[in-house]
Amino acid sequence: MLNRNFLNFSVKLLLKEKGDYLFSFIIFSFIIFIVTSVLFISESIKRDLLVSLANEGQIIVKNSKGGRYYPIDENYIDSILQVSGVDDVIGKVDGYYNFAQDRRFFKIAVDDDLNDTSMVVSSDVYDILKEFKYKKEFNFFVPNNEITLQIKEVIDSNILSNNTIFVNEDIAREILQMDEEDYSYVVILVPNEDEIENIALKIPKIFPDALVLPNYEIESDYDNLFYYKGGVFMILYIVVLISFFILLKNQISAVYGTKRKEIAILRSIGFSIKDIVLLKFIQNNIVAVGSYFFAIFFSYIYVFVLGAPFLKDIFLGEIESEIVFSPILDIKMLFLVFIFTVIPYLASILIPSWKLAVEDVSEVMK
């Protein structure tokens, strides 16, 4: 029975009751919009963090003394290099510079492509520097010294580059007051991932003070931070779910109420049960799938083009409001949303429609 005339008829029937369907369309879109926006943001942040983690080695080792972080020296690198299974150990320098004028800390990170007189800053740092009239250069005040660097470039701040100043390693050591033999932490490259755990266990035996962080531990930390089955996320989903069920309830009662007669009439003019289910399927598909894509499109624009105003503050707090999310489209996640929204929505219409269609027509018309 599926032909052009039938499709035309379905759409005409749909347009006849625009008001009803428009209401469902808007509510349904809004629900999906909220869910996907939140998921887009959390996935984007998580992806950025994981990408940066993948660029690091397999194990990160930090030094501590009395429970506080302490620089790690060349001796550690030499000793860890001797452990079987370790391919390389690389010392890294990073830390925070106290920008006393504004009572805040800037993160200092190393980019060895820079020369001794230039630096790269993230856009949020640049905005703060501009307020203090540092438009082209900036003076770092360290004990007994002042280091002046030109601002070579301003980069977008994402979750990683946010609040960061990039300088070369020598300058970073100067700013952070670190000796040549000292590092903030070291990363260990382990080519065989099966051995990561084993090596991570060996290091505290050589250096009992060392804090050893294998990459799988950090990964699970990130996962926990943006775990969408727990905490704030759960509350959000419950609210969305409840409103979704209210919508479904509304749909079902509409079918049993006003649409009841409509189905009976269609039956009496010769529509088969199959045709009626198909008709309802086409109509509601237009509403559900249409609003699904409509909502995803808008949430993509909202998050990745407009930078998710309001929602971002919930995630990151107002201080980090300059952050730009790197766009990603996780098909798996969108499919999951589809399964949990579009399918129940269609079911909530089709099952009662079918139930009515199989009832005795004369009974309903009475």
In the complex, which residues of this chain contact another protein (CB under 8 A)?
A: 74-75, 78, 81-89, 116-117, 145, 147-148, 170, 173-174, 179-181, 191-192, 194-195, 198
Q: CB of 271: closest distance to another protein in angstroms?
A: 54
CB of 73 to another protein, least distance (A): 8
- With 0-12 / 13-18 / 19 or more C-beta atoms within 10 angstroms meaning exposed / middle / buried, residue 299 is buried
Cβ nearer to another protein, comparing 81 with 246: 81
Least distance to another protein from the beta carbon of 11, Å?
49
List, as own/partner pairs, every contact residues 294-302 make where C-beta atoms lie below 8 angstroms and the sequence separation is at least 24, other chains included.
294/29, 295/28, 295/29, 295/30, 295/31, 295/32, 295/33, 295/36, 296/32, 296/36, 296/334, 298/29, 298/33, 299/32, 299/33, 299/36, 299/37, 299/40, 300/36, 300/40, 300/327, 300/329, 302/33, 302/37
Closer CB to another protein, residue 10 or residue 184? 184
Task: Give 20 or 169: the residue with its C-beta nearer to another protein.
Answer: 169
Minimum Å gap between C-beta 130 and another protein is: 21
User: What is the per-residue DSSP string for 91-125?
Assistant: EE--EEEEEGGGTEEEEEEE-TTS-TTEEEEEHHH
Return the number of the residue (191 or 231) whose C-beta is nearest another protein: 191
Pick 89 or 308: Cβ nearer another protein: 89
**CB of residue 151 to another protein, shortest distance in Å:** 15
Using DSSP, state whether 147 is helix, strand or coil: strand
How would DSSP label each residue in 263-315?
HHHHHHTT--HHHHHHHHHHHHHHHHHHHHHHHHHHHHIIIIIS--TTHHHHH
Angle formed at CA 336 by CA 49 and CA 11, multiple of 5 degrees: 130
Considering the complex, what minimum distance in angstroms separates the CB of residue 218 from another protein?
22
Q: Which residue has the tokens 């045709």?
A: 275
Which CB sits closer to another protein, 78 or 221?
Answer: 78
Query: Residue 131 Cβ, how far from another protein at the closest point, in Å?
Result: 23
Alpha-carbon distance of 300 to 224, in angstroms, equals 24
Nearer to another protein, 80 or 159 (CB): 80
